Amino acid sequence: MALPSYTETRYRIWHYFYLAICAFVFFFLIAPLFVIFPLSFNAEEFLVFSEGMKNLDPDAFSLRWYKDMIYGTKNPWGLAAKNSFIIAIFATIGSIILGTLAALGLSSRHMPYKGIIMATLISPMIVPLIISGVAIFFFMAKVGLAATHTGIVFAHIILGTPFVVITVTATLSGFDHSVTRAAASLGSNPVNTFMKITLPLILPGVISGGLFAFVTSFDEVVVVLFLAGLENTTIPVQMWTGLREQLSPTILAVATCLIILSTLILISAELLRRRSERLRGINR
């Protein structure tokens, strides 16, 4: 953003000041993530940069904590990772199915009470997690699903569907309904029309909603803390316990893996968003 040559000095100064503020904010946003990365290769047991690390001494770095994360005898990370993935995958599938169906209904112009129903469907995203946690815990305890994978999957479907509803509704807002009518007039039944025409067109929205649901489930700790027994521990629960009790660098190794995972998810989400905008004919 180059300034025009006629800019007065005071605006020039103001402009650089503004850029400096922006630089600071971007640094504030992103820098904390990068502090984890080097520390996870620390050879020592403390969560501070040792003198050796500051001098870039190769002996001060090691893969010790990564080995501990994978091979550590008492380490719960293996079980936690397995649980996290199983729960997140099932929760994502459930959220996608329920959320996409609901979004299809909501985008129909015949839908009665659209406003209030939409507000209800989105509410799990707005209601503080601690309240959701208490309410879901009461329910799961009553039906005997507390401390089971099923219970946690249901809880995460509740928390994940709003994201699918929002993204799919957004995708459908630019959807040309005449294509489905065309399919119907050519003799296609509704299911076939959905699978062959609608779904491919809204797929980017469905997948990006699914990514949100996956991340929500994979990252969720408040509700799981209420629901989980020892057997259902997940990565966030383990991190929570670790951060509260003893900060071991193994957590940083796990955190580094999670940052890499979120980077991958970010890239796929961005690609999907661009594809979706292209499909909907939004050019910028």
Show contacts with other proteins in window 3-62 (CB under 8 A): 11, 14, 18-19, 21-22, 25-26, 28-30, 32-33, 35-36, 39, 46-49
How many positions of this chain bind other proteins (CB under 8 A)? 93
Looking at the Cβ atoms of 18 and 45, the one nearer to other proteins is 18
- Asked if 183 contacts 229 with a C-beta cutoff of 8 angstroms, the reply is no
Contacts from 156-159 at CB under 8 Å and sequence distance 24+?
Answer: 156/87, 156/88, 156/91, 156/95, 156/213, 156/216, 156/217, 156/220, 156/223, 157/91, 157/94, 157/95, 157/98, 158/124, 158/132, 159/124, 159/125, 159/129, 159/132, 159/216, 159/217, 159/220, 159/223
Looking at the Cβ atoms of 123 and 192, the one nearer to other proteins is 123
- Contact between 184 and other proteins by CB under 8 A: the answer reads no
Q: Which of 60, 101, 197, 279 binds other proteins (CB under 8 A)?
A: 101
- Contact between 108 and other proteins by CB under 8 A: the answer reads yes
Q: Which of 180, 219, 277, 279 binds other proteins (CB under 8 A)?
A: 219
Residues constituting the chain: 284
First to last CA, the chain: 18
C-alpha to C-alpha distance for 140 and 125, rounded to whole angstroms: 19
Query: Segment 221-250, which members bind other proteins (CB under 8 A)?
Result: 221-222, 225-226, 236, 239-240, 243-244, 247
Cβ of residue 258: shortest distance to other proteins, in angstroms?
5
DSSP 8-state code for residue 44: S
Q: Considering only the stretches 55-63, 72-80, 178-186, 260-268, report the one whose residues sit in contact with other proteins under the rule CB under 8 A.
A: 260-268
Cβ of residue 55: shortest distance to other proteins, in angstroms?
14
Q: Which of 6, 9, 73, 128 binds other proteins (CB under 8 A)?
A: 128
- Contact between 138 and other proteins by CB under 8 A: the answer reads yes
Q: Which of 13, 16, 120, 199 binds other proteins (CB under 8 A)?
A: 120
Looking at the Cβ atoms of 72 and 240, the one nearer to other proteins is 240
The residue type of 270 is E
Kindly report the number of other CB atoms within 10 A of residue 111's CB atom: 13
Would you state the structure tokens that stand for residue 272, as one six-digit string? 């999907």
